[in-house]
Chain A
Amino acid sequence: KQEVTQIPAALSVPEGENLVLNCSFTDSAIYNLQWFRQDPGKGLTSLLLIQSSQREQTSGRLNASLDKSSGRSTLYIAASQPGDSATYLCAVDKTSYDKVIFGPGTSLSVIP
């Protein structure tokens, strides 16, 4: 059974720092991996989606990498801002039918 973990559970950094969030999954046979952002009390917003054949995806200050063989993905946030404060979740999809398994999330706080 696929399990997804995220480290750290919480992270607090000063504004302007570059940071890395980690995601691990136990079954490397995935179809894709996504990173989501969730603001307190709200739904999830998709940030980046990496197909199983890809190694990384970039969007603005965000870069996500995928290493299927080791069962790991990282989300790199450059020059962090207070507006980046949120919970970041990774999710893996084993099939093309969009039934994803979510990690528990990393709660990020960027201090001005």
Chain B
Amino acid sequence: DVKVTQSSRYLVKRTGEKVFLECVQDMDHENMFWYRQDPGLGLRLIYFSYDVKMKEKGDIPEGYSVSREKKERFSLILESASTNQTSMYLCASSSSGQETQYFGPGTRLLVL
């Protein structure tokens, strides 16, 4: 079975802190994605990556950056956390040509 893991289920940070959210997949997938999910707004794509060291902006990249140094790991970075970044963050991966995305369990981030 495909497994996508995220480093934390719950995270509490203070405004201005640098936050790292880690995502690891064990199926050698080329594609990886970071979404945030908010009530009434649904899932919105922040960044995605089709290959190691490659990244593309999604629909709401402002305030975020990403890193993909290894194929299995895709990190989301909040350089200076703000309260409006309180959200549920979901990571996903897929294999090129397979199309189905596999999601991690999510990280619920609270920024105080």
Chain A residues with a Cβ under 8 A of chain B: 31-32, 34, 36, 41-46, 49, 89, 93, 96-100, 102-105
* A-binding segment of B13-21, B43-51, B62-70, B74-82: B43-51
Cα A89 to Cα B44 in complex, Å, equals 13
B-side interface size class: 20 to 34
A97 and B106 contacting across the interface, CB-CB below 8 Å = no
Contact A44 B103 (CB under 8 A): yes
Partner of A89, one of B4, B42, B92: B42
B101 near A100: Cβ-Cβ < 8 Å: yes
Which residue of chain B has the shortest Cβ distance to A32 in the bound complex? B99
CB distance from A109 to the nearest CB of B (A): 17
Contact of A104 among B31, B42, B94, B106 (CB under 8 A): B42
Q: How far is the CB of A69 from chain B (nearest CB, A)?
A: 22
- Could you tell me the distance between the alpha carbons of A105 and B88 in the complex, rounded to whole angstroms? 15
B106 touches A49 (CB 8 A): no
Given A89-B43, A99-B45, A105-B42 in contact, is the A34-B100 Cβ separation under 8 Å? Answer: yes
Q: Are B99 and A98 in contact (CB under 8 A)?
A: yes
Chain A contacts for B92, CB-based, 8 A: 44
Task: Report B's interface with A, CB cutoff 8 A.
Answer: 4, 31, 33, 35, 40-43, 45, 48, 50, 58, 90, 92, 94, 96-97, 99-106, 108
The 9 closest A-B pairs by CB, nearest first: A43-B103, A102-B43, A44-B103, A104-B42, A46-B100, A43-B105, A98-B94, A43-B106, A102-B42
Contact present for B101 and A46 (CB under 8 Å): yes
User: Which residues of B have CB within 8 Å of A46?
Assistant: 100-102
Would you give 26 A-B contacts (Cβ < 8 Å), ordered by A?
Answer: A34-B100, A41-B106, A41-B108, A43-B4, A43-B90, A43-B103, A43-B104, A43-B105, A43-B106, A44-B43, A44-B90, A44-B92, A44-B101, A44-B103, A46-B100, A46-B102, A89-B43, A93-B99, A96-B99, A97-B50, A98-B31, A98-B94, A100-B101, A104-B40, A104-B41, A104-B42
